[in-house]
Amino acid sequence: MKPLQTLLMKSLSVCSLPASASTLQQIALHQPKGVAKVVLKKGKTQIFKDGNPMVYSGAVDRIIGRPPPKTGDVVLVADGTEKPIGWGLYNSVSMFCVRLMQLEDEATSDSYCALNMEKLIETRIDAAVEVRRRLGLPSVHTNAYRLINSEGDRLSGLIIDVFGDVAVVASSAAWVEKYKSEIEACLGKINYIHHINWRPSVDILKEDGMNESDLKEMHSSTCPERTKIVENGIGYTISLKGQKTGFYADQRENRQFISTISDGLKVLDLCCYSGGFALNAVRGGALNVTGIDTSLLALELAKENVLLNSIDPGRISFLKEDATEFMKGALLRNESWDIVIIDPPKLAPTKKVLHSASGMYRNLNSLAMQLTKRGGLLMTCSCSGAVTQSGIFLRILQGAASMAGRKITVLRQSGAACDHPIDPSYPEGAYLTNILLRVS
């Protein structure tokens, strides 16, 4: 039997709640360990009420709770009057001290997940599965797609790509590591997923307070190193130890578009990785396709994919060379192509290097424009979020055209495939920009 004093204190706490107490306040009161409250500074509330999940430390006025919350703990986030606007997961080390998971009005309309990460993870993953099903994913023609796209699926810091029967989890937040078993349990309920491969973003997780040696111990995987997938009817062997999660599913719709404009043309695919654009160009009827990349592993996969799709090797070739050096050499040889595709790696990982990265993008695109036949097409890509969010990519391309002595016309702009949703309240989630240019 509980001591009378404890019961009286709890009773007094309940009675002290005003009639207008929020849903989250009422639920928090019944949590056995109590819930700390992160109170925001005056004027810093609206951006988070609008949905931005990343509560940065500079927006926080004070933290109410004894003992103080620890990394991974559920906390309330409140305005300056201490009225909750939502709840999320605390981090004592990161520059983002809370990742908001649910807003007050959502908890009021449906309290099932309120202050409960296990239920929230299950609900959000189930919702993502249903969205992809409505988009026709997976299907007979495509079984490689993104299941969870971080903020776009309301699970900030978590990315899950599905490749056939393999789910690849890319973790960039401490909470993902804490709830590893819950995430795996949700994926285990999806009947076509038989393997789970974890790919922690070690450098980002260290900023979140994770220890690198602990991560290595946590993620010893028995997953196969390679698997086969199909995308838009084209087969690929992918390496689960390769770049990012192993395959760039975000370019699926752009790759398919290339197949519709390549008939009878000569195509150059720069930074081709495992040959996605190149294979689509051949499938679309290109007369000759050349792929360039610096990664030997990627090129081995590309050549394997040519055989996998029974493509005439005389129509497609892959060379190991730096893209800039190849383009300079091709200009000296007076070579040119009807369609040039350039999809370089992320040159601007942060806004701090945006200026220098802009110069690199300008130089690469200037060379690519010079290799494009007059009247031909250049598809140029940037996967740097800092470039996409700053809106300067077109200005960079105009500068590149001036350097190359060419005139450009924008024919098409696109982003990531539809299974890569973006939360409009968190525009930092947008990273991919593809622009199709006519070069004259």
The 3 state secondary structure assigned to the chain is: CCCHHHHHHHHHHHHHCCCCCCHHHHHHHCCCCCCEEEEECCCCCHHHHCCCCEEEHHHEEEEECCCCCCCCCEEEEECCCCCEEEEEEECCCCCEEEEEEEEHHHHHHCHHHCCCHHHHHHHHHHHHHHHHHHCCCCCCCCCEEEEEEHHHHCCCCEEEEEECCEEEEEECCHHHHHCHHHHHHHHHCCCCCCEEEEEECHHHHHHCCCCHHHHHHHCCCCCCCEEEEEECCEEEEEECCCCCCCCCHHHHHHHHHHHHHCCCCEEEEECCCCCHHHHHHHHCCCCEEEEEECCHHHHHHHHHHHHHCCCCHHHEEEEECCHHHHHHHHHHCCCCEEEEEECCCCCCCCHHHHHHHHHHHHHHHHHHHHHEEEEEEEEEEECCHHHHHHCCHHHHHHHHHHHHCCCEEEEEEECCCCCCCCCCCCHHHCCCEEEEEEEC
Is it the case that residue 210 has pLDDT exceeding 90? no
More confident residue, 185 or 13: 185
Instruction: Please report, rounded to a whole number, the percentage of residues in the chain having pLDDT higher than 90.
Output: 79
Is it the case that residue 417 has pLDDT exceeding 60? yes
Mean residue pLDDT of the chain comes to: 91
Task: Choose among 331, 408, 404: nearest CA to 377.
Answer: 408
Q: Is the CB of residue 385 less than 8 Å from the CB of residue 398?
A: no
Burial per residue of 345-360, b for 16 or more beta-carbon CB atoms within 10 angstroms, e otherwise: eebbeeeeebeebbee
For residue range 137-178, what is the model confidence (pLDDT) as tens digits? 999 999 999 999 999 999 999 999 999 999 999 999 999 999
For residue range 293-320, what is the model confidence (pLDDT) as tens digits? 999 999 999 999 999 999 999 999 999 9
- Once rounded to an integer, what is the mean pLDDT over residues 330-341? 98
What pLDDT sits at residue 8?
27
What is the rounded (10 degree) CA torsion for 180, 245, 433, 292?
170
What CA–CA distance (Å, rounded) separates 384 from 378? 19
Q: Is the CB of residue 106 less than 8 Å from the CB of residue 58?
A: no
Q: How many CA atoms lie within 13 A of 210 on its CB side?
A: 24
At 427, the pLDDT band (50, 70, 90 cuts) reads confident
98: which 2 tokens? Answer: 């809370």
Is it the case that residue 114 has pLDDT exceeding 60? yes
274: which 2 tokens? Answer: 């495992």
- Cα distances from 286 to residues 60, 159, 274, 311, 331, in angstroms, run 57, 34, 18, 12, 22
More confident residue, 22 or 39: 39
What CA–CA distance (Å, rounded) separates 57 from 96? 6
